[in-house]
């Protein structure tokens, strides 16, 4: 098991590349596994060889980047495929529609790679599934004790209350969120708990449609459509857009953000701690449930989380730099 800007698992008969950020180091005989459709995890879709992800992950990737993925075999959650003496199973990651963890059982050991995970149910996803494994390779985006998120229902209520108060002031509430995953959760929130029309940045249309095809009911208007433009001009509504969008922001809009980083922004902007990642306590509980013999941590507060796991659970772990090539199982 090695790290080359992505996890590589090699046996005599098997070569897997999990979430590689580049195709330069992928052997021709390898299979690529893509955990979800956020851009920092989809570099493997450029690989010419065989690729696996859920169908929803490929659909969202195409909606965002108009990239046709060839030589592709979709995996369903809890579906397995076998290569000689090894078995690969996709498990729910809870991070966004289609997100998957990968449990790889080889004759030597079982390895669980999480990608990004969220360990509670949301309006559009089910919680990540822990699995007993020998080796756990997991993300720790919010692996610092300072990141403990409020109950999701509390955050939902705060967002709706802010939006309604903003409308009472004669302004349009504008929420900046990630185009894939978070945006659709927020659309669903306002569909379920208000009667307000939801207008979205046109970039979200294709991702919203991918959610509809997967059975998640969403109701929205594109800001580029005639109806969307008319509603923005005349009627109370909610506008949902991407973090960097300024072109579509009108003078009558009040802006807010929905992100786990809201806990460290110190009130500098209006922000709600709605995250598609597990917080610190969820990550600790996930490690306990998986009960691995060896633990490797990447992304975010990896070193903080490594120290916390040693202190809280009495377990040794290693933090892995996403940018440094290393062999994971030596010098543990």
Helix axes 302-313, 280-290, angle to 10 degrees: 60
Closest CA to 135 of 150, 154, 114: 114
Distance (Å, rounded) from C-alpha 172 to C-alpha 323?
A: 42
In angstroms, the CA 187 to CA 119 distance is: 21
Query: Is beta strand 80-83 parallel, antiparallel or unpaired with respect to 318-320?
Result: unpaired
Parallel/antiparallel/unpaired status of strands 7-10 and 2-3: antiparallel
Per-residue pLDDT tens listing for the chain (332 residues): 998 889 999 988 889 999 999 998 898 889 999 999 999 999 999 999 999 999 999 999 999 998 889 999 999 999 999 988 999 999 999 999 999 999 999 999 999 999 999 999 999 999 999 999 999 999 999 999 999 999 999 999 999 999 999 999 999 999 999 999 999 999 999 999 999 999 999 999 999 999 999 999 999 999 999 999 999 999 999 999 998 887 777 778 999 999 999 999 887 799 999 999 999 999 999 999 999 999 999 999 999 999 999 999 999 999 987 644 344 444 33
DSSP state, 264? Answer: G
Residue 244: enclosing H or E segment and its boundaries? Answer: none
Distance between CA atoms of 282 and 119, rounded to whole angstroms? 6
What are the Cα distances from residue 89, in Å, to 35, 77, 228, 246? 12, 8, 42, 42
pLDDT of 322: 61
With a CB cutoff of 8 Å and minimum separation 6, the contacts of 58 are: 37, 45, 69, 72, 74
Give the pLDDT confidence score for residue 242 in this predicted structure: 93
Task: Give the count of beta carbons closer than 10 Å to the beta carbon of residue 83.
Answer: 15
> Within 37-131, where are the H helices?
55-65
d(C-alpha 84, C-alpha 29), whole Å: 14
pLDDT at 326: 43
CA 215/CA 179 separation, integer angstroms: 18
Full set of structural domains in the chain with CATH: 2-147+277-327 (3.60.15.10), 152-272 (3.40.50)
Are the CB atoms for 254 and 171 separated by under 8 Å? yes
Output the six-digit token pair for 206.
């294709």
Residue-level pLDDT at 323: 45
Alpha helices, DSSP H, located in 50-96 = 55-65
Helix/strand/coil percent split, the chain, to 5? 30, 25, 50
Cα gap 304→312, rounded to integer Å: 12
Residue listed under structure tokens 């052997």: 27
């Amino acid at each position: 098991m090695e790290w080359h800007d992505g996890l590589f698992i090699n046996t005599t008969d098997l070569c897997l590349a999990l979430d590689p950020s580049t195709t330069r180091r992928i052997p021709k005989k390898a299979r690529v596994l893509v955990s979800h459709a956020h851009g920092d995890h989809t570099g493997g879709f450029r690989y010419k060889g065989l690729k696996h992800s859920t169908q929803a992950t490929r659909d969202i990737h195409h909606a965002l980047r108009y990239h046709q993925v060839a030589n592709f075999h979709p995996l369903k959650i809890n579906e397995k495929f076998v290569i000689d003496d090894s078995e690969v199973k996709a498990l729910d990651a809870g991070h966004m529609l289609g997100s998957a963890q990968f449990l790889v059982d080889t004759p030597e050991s079982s390895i669980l790679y999480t990608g990004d995970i969220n360990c509670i149910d949301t309006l559009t996803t089910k919680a990540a599934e822990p699995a007993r494994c020998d080796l756990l390779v997991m993300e720790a985006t919010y692996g610092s004790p300072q990141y403990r998120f409020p109950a999701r229902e509390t955050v939902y209520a705060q967002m709706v209350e802010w939006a309604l108060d903003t409308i009472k002031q004669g302004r349009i509430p504008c929420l900046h969120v990630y185009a894939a995953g978070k945006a659709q959760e927020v659309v669903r929130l306002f569909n379920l708990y208000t009667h307000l029309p939801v207008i979205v940045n046109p970039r979200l249309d294709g991702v919203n449609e991918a959610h509809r095809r997967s059975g998640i009911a969403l109701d929205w208007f594109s800001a580029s459509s005639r109806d969307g433009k008319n509603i923005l001009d005349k009627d109370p509504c909610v506008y949902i857009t991407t973090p960097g969008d300024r072109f579509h922001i009108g003078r009558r809009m009040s802006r807010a953000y929905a992100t786990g980083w809201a806990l460290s922004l110190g009130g500098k902007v209006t922000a709600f701690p709605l995250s598609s990642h597990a917080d610190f306590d969820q990550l600790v509980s996930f490690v306990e449930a998986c009960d691995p013999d060896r633990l490797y941590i990447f992304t975010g507060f990896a070193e903080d989380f490594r120290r916390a796991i040693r202190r809280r659970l009495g377990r040794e772990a290693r933090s892995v730099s996403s940018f440094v090539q290393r062999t994971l199982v030596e010098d543990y």
